[in-house]
């Protein structure tokens, strides 16, 4: 029994670790998309941040400097997206794709040339990354059956950025639904001309949303390279940006359901990693690849209206022209 | 304000005759120059000389007959995926799924080649063209149907379908199609009579000597596809309907065009074109089905279509340019080990950025200058 409990606890912990970068990137995408800017570039921003963070942490030896550099790199990419889509009314999907492709090449090329380790950055020492934190009381509660295991394995023992990801969900929900900026953000994504008529700049609101997106994707990318792993590996985001986008759509562009989608997707991944060919009751051996494809299949089904309905912000993807 | 608009219209009308060819001809050149300039900054950051890199790249791409053969071999892939993206673009659809569609097209070709060892080559080639196109079309049909009938956006669904295709093909290659008794996930080698003849062999049988390269007969299929797309878009009713839909959906519907059917036909043709890419890779060069054989060609198609301004002629030129970048890029990395082929991906991304996302930023000023 306690072995099953431990297994469940380990699965839950793996889910939390897997969900953290998804939550951060998806919430970043939420700000951008709620303001009416399609954010396919989550992947590229995460890669930029992962590389920036690992490279800086490797050189300075400081995790915080790495985090700062990662966020800066990601915000910069976000601003390029804004320059193309907001200032020059470019196609938002094309711009996002362009940034993803550019960053996938750029991080690998720079990593290869600067560190001579085949596109990787040097392995980071203990001070240069965010180490797991033992929460107070984990040792004291260890003797308590059930609660002790759950607390030690699931709640305690993650790195700082996982807790940040958990804390940012209510904060993001509060910003989007309870602040003046959040109201403008949602309005600008639904009906930018109304916002413009009210004397609020559509461009500035959208740029602010993209900066938010850049910051959150930056933390997400830094999580990958200086918290979860200890170096940058080429293309290390490995589709997580697109998965976050899928989670955002699956969560219908709302913070808490998006968190749910991220947890679901991360759970599928954790399960897949643990199963690896173990036969399941009734189903037999499920191919790992099928479980990996589940998030994408679910998102397609949702978009098609087979399960629920995903309604995008009304002005999404449409450049705002002040006068026609 | 009204007068300003009228003046604006007049200005644009009077500037039409010269602008009509000057801007389309100059813009891609300026775009390319800008993308290369930005890439030069990256080369400097890496600590190499951009001019020497460019020279090595050009020399590696077209310096000798073999290099030209390789350049055209890469270009063949990009013609297919570029045409695929362009056909969808004309209908106002963005097909990001060319990568997955090519992958599934390759599955069709591979199954045929594995099963049809005894057939005459001509028959196999004809069947392969049909199956490659059918595989790609089928993989594009689902997102198309979902957009046309259920209102889900093809951009997101085609991205999702790339991942689903990748998972499906990994499963098939690792668990089903793998050659027994080996580790790497790939099929056995096809029988030689199912291989597409390589061009240097064809040339030799006609009495010419050309450099050895993977360039094969699929390049002729690519040319035919280009002509076919040109006829489809500008000389058939379906092409007219597609372009009308892409320009103005309301007007198209008012004119009696059925958007749902048009979207499905366009996306399926787009997928079919992407699927044809597998003729070159699977049947012409690798002679087996490899994991992730499209290798990003679907994404290069986006850059090629944007740079070629969605016209088959432009796509042909842009595909050769990208073929040269890919071939030159791998040669470059021999001479300058610090510059990997990732630099080519950077250039590709920057070209999509300047040609696609920043098109308005450049076109306005350019048209003002050449007026």
**CA B78, CA B86: separation in Å to the nearest integer?**
12
Q: Which long-range contacts (CB under 8 A, 24 or more apart) does B62-68 make?
A: B62/B324, B62/B328, B64/B211, B65/B210, B65/B211, B66/B211, B66/B212, B66/B213, B67/B211, B67/B327, B67/B328, B67/B331, B68/B211, B68/B213
| Cα end-to-end span (Å), chain B | 23
pLDDT along chain B (371 residues), means of 10: 36 47 76 88 87 89 87 93 94 91 93 82 87 94 90 85 92 84 82 80 80 85 94 92 90 89 93 94 88 88 89 93 90 84 88 84 75 62
Residue percentage of chain A with pLDDT more than 90 = 42
Tell me if A112 and B96 make a contact (CB, 8 A cut-off): no
Q: Which residue has the higher pLDDT, A29 or A316?
A: A29
DSSP secondary structure string for all residues of B245-289: HHH-HHHHHHTT--HHHHHHHHHHHHHHHHHHHHIIIIIIIISS-
The chain B residue lying nearest A107, using CA atoms, is: B342
pLDDT of residue B11: 39
Per residue, what are the HEC states of B217-254?
A: CHHHHHHHHHHHHHHHHHHCHHHHHHHHHHHCHHHHHH
pLDDT of residue A324: 53
Report residue A292 CA to chain centroid gap: 17
ipTM: 0.88
Q: Please tell me the distance in Å from A151's CA to the nearest CA on chain B.
A: 35
Average pLDDT over residues A101-107: 92
Residue B220 CA neighbour count, 13 Å, CB half: 10
Is residue B88 classed as helix, strand or coil in its secondary structure? helix
Tell me if B163 and A293 make a contact (CB, 8 A cut-off): yes
Contact A71, A77 (CB under 8 A): no
Is residue A25 classed as helix, strand or coil in its secondary structure? helix
pLDDT band at A91 (very low <50, low <70, confident <90, very high): confident
Q: What's the residue count for chain A?
A: 324
What are the tens digits of pLDDT across the range A244-299?
A: 998 898 888 999 999 999 998 898 888 877 776 677 666 667 777 888 888 888 88
| Report for A85-94, A149-158, B195-204, B266-275: range of highest mean pLDDT | B266-275
CATH architecture under which domain B72-318 falls: Orthogonal Bundle (1.10)
Q: Please tell me the distance in Å from B93's CA to the nearest CA on chain A.
A: 11
Q: How many CB atoms lie within 10 A of CB B347?
A: 25
Please determine, for residue A52, whether its predicted confidence score (pLDDT) is greater than 80. Answer: yes
Q: Please tell me the distance in Å from B124's CA to the nearest CA on chain A.
A: 31
Domains of chain A as residue ranges with CATH = 2-303 (1.10.3470)
Q: Which residue has the higher pLDDT, A151 or B160?
A: B160
Q: Tell me the CA distances in angstroms from B276 to A303, B88, B269, one per residue in order.
A: 28, 16, 11
Nearest CB partner across the interface for A300, out of B94, B160, B361: B160
**CA B330, CA B341: separation in Å to the nearest integer?**
6
Domain ranges for chain B: 72-318
Question: Which residues of chain A lie closer than 8 angstroms to B342, CB-CB?
Answer: 104-106, 108-109, 112, 119, 234
């Amino acid at each position: 029994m306690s072995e099953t409990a431990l297994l469940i606890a380990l699965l839950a912990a793996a889910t939390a670790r897997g969900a953290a970068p998804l939550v951060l990137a998806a919430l970043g995408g939420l700000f951008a998309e709620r303001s009416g800017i399609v954010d396919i570039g989550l992947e590229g921003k995460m890669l930029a941040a992962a590389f920036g963070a690992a490279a800086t942490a490797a050189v300075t030896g400081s995790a915080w400097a790495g985090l700062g550099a990662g966020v800066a790199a990601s915000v910069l990419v976000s601003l390029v997206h804004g320059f193309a889509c907001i200032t020059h009314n470019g196609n938002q999907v094309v711009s996002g794709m362009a940034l993803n492709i550019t960053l996938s090449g750029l991080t690998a090329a720079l990593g290869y040339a600067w560190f001579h380790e085949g596109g990787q950055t040097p392995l980071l020492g203990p001070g240069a990354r965010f180490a797991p934190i033992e929460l107070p009381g984990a040792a004291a509660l260890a003797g308590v059956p059930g609660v002790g295991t759950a607390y030690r394995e699931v709640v305690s023992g993650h790195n700082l950025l996982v807790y940040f990801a958990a804390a940012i969900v209510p904060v993001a929900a509060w910003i989007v639904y309870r602040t003046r900026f959040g109201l403008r953000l949602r309005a600008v994504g639904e009906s930018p001309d109304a916002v413009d008529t009210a004397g609020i700049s559509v461009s500035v609101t959208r740029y602010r949303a993209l900066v938010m997106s850049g910051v959150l994707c930056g933390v997400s990318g830094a999580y990958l390279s200086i918290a979860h792993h200890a170096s940058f590996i080429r293309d290390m985001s490995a589709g997580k940006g697109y998965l976050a986008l899928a989670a955002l759509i699956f969560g219908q562009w709302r913070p808490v359901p998006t968190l749910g989608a991220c947890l679901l997707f991360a759970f599928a991944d954790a399960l897949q990693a643990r199963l690896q060919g173990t036969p399941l009751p009734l189903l037999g051996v499920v191919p790992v690849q099928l479980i990996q494809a589940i998030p994408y299949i679910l998102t397609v089904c949702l978009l098609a209206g087979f399960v629920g309905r995903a309604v995008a912000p009304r002005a999404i993807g449409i450049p705002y022209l002040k006068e026609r | 304000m009204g007068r300003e608009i009228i003046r604006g219209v007049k200005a644009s009308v009077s500037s039409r005759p010269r602008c009509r060819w000057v801007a389309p001809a100059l813009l891609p050149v300026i775009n390319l120059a800008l993308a290369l300039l930005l890439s030069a900054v990256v080369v400097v950051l890496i600590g190499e000389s951009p001019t020497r890199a460019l020279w090595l790249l050009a020399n590696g791409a077209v310096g000798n007959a073999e290099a030209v053969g390789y350049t055209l071999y890469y270009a063949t892939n990009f013609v297919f995926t570029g045409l695929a993206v362009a056909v969808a673009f004309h209908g106002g659809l963005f097909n990001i799924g060319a990568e997955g569609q090519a992958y599934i097209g390759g599955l069709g070709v591979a199954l045929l080649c594995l099963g049809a060892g005894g057939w005459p080559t001509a028959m196999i080639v004809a069947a392969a063209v049909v199956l490659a196109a059918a595989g790609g079309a089928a993989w594009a049909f689902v997102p198309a149907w979902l957009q046309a009938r259920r209102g889900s956006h093809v951009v997101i669904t085609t991205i999702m379908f790339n991942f689903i295709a990748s998972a499906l093909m990994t499963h098939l290659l690792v668990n089903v199609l793998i050659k027994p008794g080996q580790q790497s996930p790939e099929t056995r080698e096809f029988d030689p009579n199912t291989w597409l003849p390589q061009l240097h062999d064809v040339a030799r049988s006609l009495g010419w000597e050309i450099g050895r390269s993977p360039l094969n007969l699929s390049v002729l299929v690519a040319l035919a596809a280009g002509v076919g797309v040109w006829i489809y878009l500008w000389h058939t009713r379906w092409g007219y309907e597609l372009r009308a839909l892409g320009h103005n959906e309301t007007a198209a519907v008012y004119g009696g065009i059925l958007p749902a059917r048009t979207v499905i036909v366009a996306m399926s043709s787009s997928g079919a074109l992407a699927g044809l890419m597998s003729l070159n890779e699977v049947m012409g060069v690798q002679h087996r089905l490899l994991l992730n054989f499209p290798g990003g060609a679907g994404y290069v198609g986006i850059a090629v279509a944007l740079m070629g301004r969605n016209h088959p002629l432009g796509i042909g030129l842009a595909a050769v340019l990208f073929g040269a970048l890919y071939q030159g890029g791998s040669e470059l990395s021999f001479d300058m080990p610090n510059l990997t082929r990732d630099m080519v991906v950077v250039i590709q991304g920057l070209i999509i950025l300047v040609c696609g996302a920043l098109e308005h930023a450049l076109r306005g000023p350019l048209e003002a200058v050449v007026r």
